[in-house]
Structure 1
Amino acid sequence: MIHNPGFLLTILAFVAVIGPLVFVHELGHYLVGRWCGVKAEAFSIGFGPEIAAWVDRRGTRWRLAALPLGGYVRFKGDMNAASQTDPKWLEMSAQDRAESFPAKPLWQRAAIVAAGPAINFLFAILILAAFAFLHGESRTPAVAGMVQPGSAAAMAGIQPGDRIVSLNGRAMSTFDDIRLYAQIRPGEPVTILLDRKGQVIEKRGHVGAVSEDDGFGNKFRIGRLGIAPGEPVIEPVSLLRAPVVAIERTGQIIRIMVETLGQVIGGDRSVKELGGPLKIAQVSGQAATLGLESFIFFIALISINLGFINLLPIPMLDGGHLLFYGVEAVQRRPVSPQVQDWAYRSGLALLMTVMLLVTFNDLSSFGLWERLSGLIG
């Protein structure tokens, strides 16, 4: 029987997930910035009051702060932790300007900003490559070994032995492709192209919707076609091929993130499904109880998530900075300070709104509001 982790394990697991990933993310910015000759004035893990700090021989202040929900590298010429350019950088001496962030060529600034998300993806790819090398790659054919009576597949006319060629035009190479495609589309219409003994047949139906429990009391509504694979096929993965498999899996995870985010924006998926730091903490503790491999795999997923979120074109995030640099490349001059200031304020307001929303969702998933209403009643 699976038991929920205690409070202490949940906190320790959360710190063990977020702390290293934030460090890795900021280390990407720091290393590429140093390579480009930019001086880092501060490297912070966490926000808020300083718990501990030390200054290295290059003058960088390495600090650990009280709120471990992020971090930042403040380069010379930055006005704040959001890397807004300090207008006073032009008043610096020639030597100081030479090692300031705003003075660097556009491509170097873009490389420094992109390095954070990039190293998060690389970190996850290394973990997934190790798993692929150790456990092999699932290459089970996209063939219905069994069709559950009354399921979405049965109602669509799928029979045992049918090979699923595509779902809504997307090619299905393995059975995992079918599972990943269906699970985020409960109840959605689907056009199924299948191969039955050499004959290509088109079927139409809907993805089934089922409610599943993860063993910790968390219920999820996910999509199911209602077919089971035949004999599982696990192919060994060489050391040279392992990174390729890892990159493919990372791409699959990012595609799922993009599609589910699009469903939320489009109204096809409830915003109540969005989780925040409290939910991550809860799942971190749960993953820790399932063993070291499950916990490490969870870290890889969060690392990909962190890289993906930071690339969203929202001011205050790395993607927002890259958007400004893209505009600068097109118009051959930086975005005006007034526009940047307005964008950063809007981005901060958006991020704060999202944080409040996901925190509300997290507390709702913990049943807080029901317990409060019961006390009031």
Structure 2
Amino acid sequence: MNTLLAFIAIFSVLVFVHEWGHLFFAKRAGILCYEFAIGMGPKLFAFERNDTIYTVRLLPIGGYVRMAGEEPEQTVIRPGYEVGLVFDDQQRVTEIIVNNKSKHPEAHVVQVERIDLVHDLYIETIDEDSGELVRYPIHEKAMIVQDEVAQMNAPWHRQFGSKSLGARAMAIFAGPLMNFILAYVILLGLFSIAGFSTNQIDPIEGSPAEQAGLQAGDLIVAVDGNATERWQDMQQAIGERPNQDVAITFEREGAQQEVTLTTGSNYVSEIDEEIGVIGVAPLRESGFVAAVGESATTFVDFATSIFSTLGLILTGEFSLDYISGPVGIYNITDSAVAAGTYQVFFFAALLSVNLGVINLFPIPALDGGRLMFLAYEAIRGKPVSPEKEGAIQFIGFALVMLLMIVVTWNDISKLFS
């Protein structure tokens, strides 16, 4: 149960922050946002505020902000259509009933002669009594009702495409940006309060480190001549040298010294390898000032590790085991919960960085793909046609969903292997 609650909490916060970034900068630019959704599929919960419907959906596989003008409008009203009109006290159209007009006895049914829902906001019809052309102004926040579902009409100045290139790019980039900010804030709080491992060591009794003369408080600065600025650097350098003689350079009371020792080894089942160990525990450091730099370095480590994994594609060493879908993330969450609260927050920060970086990949249907279209527009001087962009986005979305299915199947298969 703890794992499930942690998984839901982490997923919800990461997706909420990501989508909130899109929503905040879109609304700041004046773009009408129809829906802010956490999850996909059927609605579980919904409420409306400030022209936006906020929903929680069944499937925990992402979220979205639906902005006006990003996709073709589903309701098209042309001359010759019969629609029902509802007016306010200033004779402005506040509702346009597309069908099921009998359910709206308050609506005035007319036949459309001309209509502009985007720029000039009017509808023209022939008056039945006088036979004259009558023009009705359409309220800026008029609702279009089709199949008993109401959606606010979006004038051009509230559509995504009407905004400057910079404002549109910011509305898209803001999602990953918020994930990056969240990850850094989590790390900063975690390291400030709970601390982080340093290269100052405390040798375990009887370990190779103690036998070589290392003492508590010694600062390891290099392994076999390779500088180790952080605990992770030293851990990796030692881990790559099981059962080998290594030179350890350390500082004690301001003076550098060097010893040579023979590492031990531990078998790690997750990677099916022996790793080198010297039998030391890290001393920890905490505090806001120290955490600022450590948080930044850890953030960079998280981000660059993704590209290291992708680099394996070029060498032919890539495996689906290196990436995880919802099932795999759930299993990792379970391990983090078992390790304690510190690891849960650490994993949440890692996942937030991953979400932000992956969303910036130039793949249609991801934020990076949308930014790629905007970059193309900046170079070409005009946007890609909505039809072409929509088709490319659809193909990209289908490929992303296919990859998710394959990865999820691989995650499930590993449970039974």
TM-score, with length taken from structure 2:
0.66
Say which of 6, 18, 24 aligns to 1:13.
Answer: 6
1:73 and 2:65 matched: yes
1:116 to partner: Cα distance: 0.6
Task: Specify the code of the residue in structure 2 equivalent to 1:333.
Answer: K
Identity %: 31
Q: 1:302 aligns with which of 328, 333, 351?
A: 351
Alignment of 1:248-267 (within 5 A): 248-264=297-313, 266-267=315-316
Match of 2:292 among 213, 231, 243: 243
Distance (Å, rounded) in 2 between the aligned partners of 1:256 and 1:9: 28
The structure-2 alpha-carbon separation of the partners of 1:134 and 1:286, relative to structure 1 and needing over 3 Å to count, comes to same
Deviations 1:102-123 (A, max 9, x none): 1111111111111111111111
When residues 178 and 62 of structure 1 are mapped into structure 2, their CA distance, relative to the original with a 3 A threshold, is: same
**Does the 8 Å CA contact 1:166/1:193 hold for their aligned counterparts?**
yes
Give the SS at the match of 1:69: strand
- Contact 1:186–1:223 (8 Å) recurs in 2: no
1:311 equivalent to 2:368? Answer: no
Aligned counterparts of 1:139 and 1:314: Cα–Cα separation in 2? 39
Contact 2:23 2:33 in 1 (8 A): yes
Structure 2 residue aligned with 1:64 = 56
Q: What's 2:229 paired with?
A: 173
- Give unpaired runs (5+ residues) of structure 1: 1-7, 149-160, 201-207, 214-218, 371-377
Deviation of 1:240 (Å): 4.2
Q: For residues 318-342 of structure 1, what are the alpha-carbon distances to aligned partners after superposition, in whole Å with 9 as ceiling and x for unaligned?
A: 1111122222222222234354234
Q: Which amino acid aligns with 1:212?
A: V
Distance 1:279 1:231, change over 3 A: closer
In the alignment, structure 1 residue 228 sits paired with structure 2 residue 278: yes
Report the CA distance shift for 1:134/1:29 in structure 2 as closer, same or farther (over 3 A). same
Name 1:111's counterpart in structure 2. 170
Q: Choose from 337, 341, 351 the match for 2:386.
A: 337
Which residue number corresponds to residue 26 of structure 1?
A: 19
Letter in 1 for 2:38: I
Q: What one-letter code is carried by the residue in structure 2 that aligns with 1:101?
A: F
Greater C-alpha radius of gyration: 2
Alpha-carbon offset, residue 41 of structure 1:
0.9
Matches within 5 A, 1:1-377: 8-56=1-49, 58-79=50-71, 92-93=118-119, 96-140=155-199, 163-164=222-223, 172-180=228-236, 212-213=268-269, 219-221=270-272, 224=275, 226-228=276-278, 232-237=282-287, 239-264=288-313, 266-367=315-416
How far apart in 2 are the matches of 1:313 and 1:24?
21
2:146 aligned partner: none
Q: Which residue of 1 aligns with 2:109?
A: none
* Structure 2 residue runs without a partner (length 5+): 77-115, 121-139, 141-154, 210-219, 259-263
Q: Could you give the per-residue CA deviations for residues 318-369 of structure 1, whole angstroms, max 9, x where no partner exists?
A: 11111222222222222343542343233123212311221121111110xx
Q: Secondary structure at 2:21's aligned position in 1?
A: helix
Alpha carbons of 1:294 and 1:174: their partners in 2 closer, same or farther (altered >3 Å)?
A: closer
Three-state SS of the structure 1 residue aligned to 2:331 is helix
- The answer to which structure has the higher strand fraction is 2
More helix per residue: 1
Label 1:241 to 1:274 Cα distance change in 2 as closer, same or farther (>3 A). same
SS at match of 1:66: strand
- Measured in 2, the distance between the counterparts of 1:288 and 1:178 equals 26
Which residue of structure 1 aligns with residue 152 of structure 2?
none
Contact (CA 8 Å) 2:37, 2:55: kept in 1 or not?
yes
Distance 1:78 1:223, change over 3 A: farther
Deviations 1:7-36 (A, max 9, x none): x44433321221121111101111111221
Residues 177-235 of structure 1, C-alpha deviation per residue, up to 9 Å, x if partnerless? 2435787x999xxxx999799999xxxxxxx997524xxxxx334684x2537674534
Structure number with greater CO (CA < 8 Å, separation at least 6) is: 1
